[in-house]
């Protein structure tokens, strides 16, 4: 018995060290989970800076169409989206993702909150006398706000999507203080864009199907009705 007691005393410092290490590991894991919760728990694309990113962007800007993941109503605007992407030096599939979620290509859409057009831009972003529903004008104002969101999010697409939806002020606040709408926008925007990068089709994208099932299908039906009489626009 005394031998066991002496062994226990001999190994007591090691036992205490292991307990402290275990507690430290648990605290570290919990801290990491809290950071993920506050920053947003969905994996998303954060474009890196430098030559590699610029090369990848230039390759995407050379394409003449947006990715196949987007619905036909958004594909209708593909020539214009490609034109705007080249003009503003932004990935066309990021623009297509915003249009998909905001209007599904319904360029005459107006929300109860007053947001207008393809990019669902609020009226206070327009200059006096501008036609808010004109696709070119609407895109100019919407893309400017999106680029500002990307800059404030340090290129993190998911956070930029959250900022586009909830305002730039939500970007540093973190997931825990976002509205449900902004959280959904972050999740759908991130995952639809990732599926675009992966080359998935509309049917293959679980994220897009989730958005459609959550009510996006009704938005797309209204967009299809408005676009039906029109010919696919050719970008100037």
- How confident is the model over 40-93, as pLDDT tens digits? 444 455 554 455 667 778 888 888 999 999 999 999 999 999 999 999 999 999
What pTM does this model have?
0.79
Model confidence at 236, pLDDT cuts 50, 70, 90, reads low
Domain parsing of the chain, residue ranges: 1-39, 44-227
Residue 38, classed as helix, strand or coil, is: helix
What is the secondary structure of 138-180 as a DSSP string? HHHHHHHHHHHHHHHTTT-HHHHHHHHHH-GGGTTT-GGGS-H
Closest CA to 79 of 29, 135, 131: 135
Helices and strands, number each (H, E), in the chain: 10, 0
Cα gap 216→100, rounded to integer Å: 9
Q: 100 and 74 in contact (C-beta within 8 Å)?
A: yes
Reading the block at residue 99, the tokens are 């249009």
Report, as residue numbers or ranges, the catalytic residues. 102
The DSSP output letter for 213 is I
- How confident is the model over 126-160, as pLDDT tens digits? 999 999 999 999 999 999 999 999 999 999 999 99
Closest CA to 95 of 58, 143, 63, 138: 143
pLDDT at 2 over 60: no
Q: 81 and 99 in contact (C-beta within 8 Å)?
A: yes
Cα gap 214→163, rounded to integer Å: 21
CB neighbourhood size of 88 (10 A) = 15
- 44-227: what fold? Lysozyme (1.10.530)
């Amino acid at each position: 018995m005394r031998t066991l007691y002496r062994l226990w005393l001999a190994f007591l410092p090691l036992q205490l060290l292991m307990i402290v290490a275990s507690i430290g590991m648990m605290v570290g894991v919990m801290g990491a989970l809290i950071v993920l919760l506050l920053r947003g728990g969905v994996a998303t694309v954060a474009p890196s800076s430098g030559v590699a990113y610029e090369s990848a962007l230039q390759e995407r800007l050379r394409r003449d169409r947006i990715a196949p993941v987007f619905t036909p109503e958004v594909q209708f605007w593909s020539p214009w989206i490609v034109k705007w992407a080249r003009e503003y030096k932004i990935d066309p599939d990021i623009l297509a993702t915003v249009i998909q979620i905001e209007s599904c290509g319904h360029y005459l859409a107006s929300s109860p909150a007053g947001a207008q057009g393809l990019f669902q831009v609020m009226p206070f972003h327009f200059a006096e006398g501008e036609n808010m529903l004109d696709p070119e004008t609407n895109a100019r104002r919407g893309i400017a706000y999106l680029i500002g969101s990307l800059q404030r999010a340090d290129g993190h697409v998911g956070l930029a999507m959250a900022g586009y939806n909830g305002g730039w002020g939500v970007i540093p606040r973190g997931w825990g203080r976002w509205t449900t709408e902004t959280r959904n926008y972050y999740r759908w925007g991130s995952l639809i864009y990732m599926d675009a990068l992966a080359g998935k089709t509309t049917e293959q994208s679980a994220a897009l199907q989730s958005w459609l099932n959550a009510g996006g299908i009704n938005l797309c039906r209204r967009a299809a009705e408005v676009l039906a009489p029109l010919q696919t626009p050719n970008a100037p």
